[in-house]
Protein backbone atom coordinates (compact mmCIF):
# COMPACT_ATOMS: atom_id res chain seq x y z
CA UNK A 1 0.00 0.00 0.00
CA UNK A 2 2.17 2.81 -1.25
CA UNK A 3 -0.52 5.41 -0.51
CA UNK A 4 0.23 4.90 3.20
CA UNK A 5 3.86 5.93 2.73
CA UNK A 6 2.99 9.64 2.89
CA UNK A 7 0.90 11.95 5.03
CA UNK A 8 -1.90 13.01 2.70
CA UNK A 9 -5.30 14.58 3.25
CA UNK A 10 -6.31 14.67 6.91
CA UNK A 11 -3.06 12.91 7.87
CA UNK A 12 -0.95 15.89 6.85
CA UNK A 13 0.71 17.30 9.95
CA UNK A 14 0.38 21.01 10.71
CA UNK A 15 2.26 23.50 12.86
CA UNK A 16 -0.20 22.73 15.66
CA UNK A 17 0.86 19.06 15.67
CA UNK A 18 3.50 19.09 18.38
CA UNK A 19 4.05 16.70 21.24
CA UNK A 20 3.45 19.52 23.73
CA UNK A 21 0.05 20.38 22.25
CA UNK A 22 -1.08 16.76 22.31
CA UNK A 23 0.14 16.38 25.89
CA UNK A 24 -1.91 19.47 26.83
CA UNK A 25 -4.95 17.64 25.45
CA UNK A 26 -4.21 14.82 27.88
CA UNK A 27 -3.09 12.25 25.30
CA UNK A 28 -1.03 10.33 27.87
CA UNK A 29 -4.10 9.76 30.02
CA UNK A 30 -6.18 8.88 26.96
CA UNK A 31 -3.61 6.26 25.95
CA UNK A 32 -3.97 4.59 29.35
CA UNK A 33 -7.78 4.67 29.34
CA UNK A 34 -8.65 3.98 25.70
CA UNK A 35 -8.32 0.38 24.49
CA UNK A 36 -5.79 -0.32 21.75
CA UNK A 37 -7.79 -2.08 19.07
CA UNK A 38 -5.45 -2.23 16.09
CA UNK A 39 -5.51 -6.02 16.04
CA UNK A 40 -9.34 -6.06 16.17
CA UNK A 41 -9.57 -4.53 12.69
CA UNK A 42 -6.87 -6.56 10.97
CA UNK A 43 -4.04 -4.17 11.78
CA UNK A 44 -1.17 -4.40 14.23
CA UNK A 45 -0.93 -3.33 17.83
CA UNK A 46 0.48 0.15 18.31
CA UNK A 47 0.72 0.01 22.08
CA UNK A 48 4.54 -0.02 22.02
CA UNK A 49 7.04 1.80 19.87
CA UNK A 50 9.22 -0.43 17.67
CA UNK A 51 12.96 -0.92 18.08
CA UNK A 52 14.35 2.39 16.82
CA UNK A 53 17.51 0.67 15.59
CA UNK A 54 15.43 -1.34 13.10
CA UNK A 55 14.46 1.05 10.28
CA UNK A 56 12.10 -1.52 8.75
CA UNK A 57 10.18 -1.81 12.03
CA UNK A 58 10.04 1.98 12.38
CA UNK A 59 8.74 2.41 8.83
CA UNK A 60 6.18 -0.35 9.40
CA UNK A 61 4.98 1.34 12.58
CA UNK A 62 4.55 4.68 10.84
CA UNK A 63 2.57 3.02 8.03
CA UNK A 64 0.39 1.27 10.63
CA UNK A 65 -0.35 4.58 12.39
CA UNK A 66 -1.38 6.08 9.05
CA UNK A 67 -3.66 3.11 8.34
CA UNK A 68 -5.23 3.42 11.78
CA UNK A 69 -5.77 7.14 11.35
CA UNK A 70 -7.47 6.62 7.96
CA UNK A 71 -9.76 3.99 9.49
CA UNK A 72 -10.87 6.44 12.18
CA UNK A 73 -11.27 9.42 9.82
CA UNK A 74 -13.52 7.30 7.62
CA UNK A 75 -15.28 6.04 10.76
CA UNK A 76 -16.14 9.66 11.60
CA UNK A 77 -18.47 9.60 8.58
CA UNK A 78 -20.33 6.44 9.58
CA UNK A 79 -23.21 8.31 11.23
CA UNK A 80 -24.14 10.20 8.05
CA UNK A 81 -26.54 7.54 6.62
CA UNK A 82 -28.61 7.87 9.80
CA UNK A 83 -29.51 11.41 8.72
CA UNK A 84 -31.71 9.90 6.00
CA UNK A 85 -34.20 8.26 8.34
CA UNK A 86 -33.67 9.22 11.99
CA UNK A 87 -34.97 12.15 13.98
CA UNK A 88 -32.60 15.09 14.26
CA UNK A 89 -31.96 14.45 17.96
CA UNK A 90 -30.94 10.85 17.36
CA UNK A 91 -28.79 11.90 14.42
CA UNK A 92 -27.07 14.61 16.43
CA UNK A 93 -26.46 12.31 19.39
CA UNK A 94 -25.07 9.55 17.22
CA UNK A 95 -22.90 12.06 15.36
CA UNK A 96 -21.37 13.38 18.58
CA UNK A 97 -20.70 9.89 19.96
CA UNK A 98 -19.20 8.73 16.65
CA UNK A 99 -16.89 11.74 16.47
CA UNK A 100 -15.69 11.37 20.06
CA UNK A 101 -15.11 7.62 19.70
CA UNK A 102 -13.04 8.19 16.54
CA UNK A 103 -11.23 11.43 17.40
CA UNK A 104 -9.64 9.98 20.54
CA UNK A 105 -7.69 7.28 18.65
CA UNK A 106 -6.82 9.81 15.92
CA UNK A 107 -5.19 12.00 18.57
CA UNK A 108 -3.36 9.00 20.03
CA UNK A 109 -1.94 7.67 16.74
CA UNK A 110 -0.91 11.16 15.57
CA UNK A 111 0.91 11.66 18.86
CA UNK A 112 2.64 8.30 18.49
CA UNK A 113 3.68 9.15 14.92
CA UNK A 114 5.06 12.52 16.07
CA UNK A 115 7.05 10.86 18.83
CA UNK A 116 8.47 8.32 16.43
CA UNK A 117 9.46 10.93 13.85
CA UNK A 118 11.15 13.01 16.59
CA UNK A 119 13.05 10.00 17.94
CA UNK A 120 14.18 8.74 14.55
CA UNK A 121 15.72 12.02 13.37
| pTM, two decimal places | 0.84
107 domain-assigned: yes
Residues in contact with 71: Cβ distance below 8 Å, sequence separation at least 6, in sequence order: 41, 43
110 domain-assigned: yes
| Structural domains of the chain, count | 1
Query: CA geometry: angle at 86 spanning 80 and 87, to 5°?
Result: 115
38 domain-assigned: no
Lowest mean pLDDT among 18-22, 42-46, 89-93: 42-46
56 domain-assigned: no
18 domain-assigned: no
pLDDT beyond 80 at 42: no
26 domain-assigned: no
119 domain-assigned: yes
Can you give the pLDDT at residue 92?
95
pLDDT beyond 70 at 39: no
More confident site: 49 or 19:
19
Collapsing DSSP to helix, strand or coil, 4 comes out as helix
Q: What residue numbers bound the domain in which 117 lies?
A: 69-121
Identify which of 23, 51, 14, 38 has the alpha carbon closest to the alpha carbon of residue 107: 23
47 domain-assigned: no
Amino acid sequence: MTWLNRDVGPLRLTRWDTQANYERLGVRQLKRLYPEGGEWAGGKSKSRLPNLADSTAVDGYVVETRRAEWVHWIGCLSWLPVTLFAAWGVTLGLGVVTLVVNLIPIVIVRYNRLRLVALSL
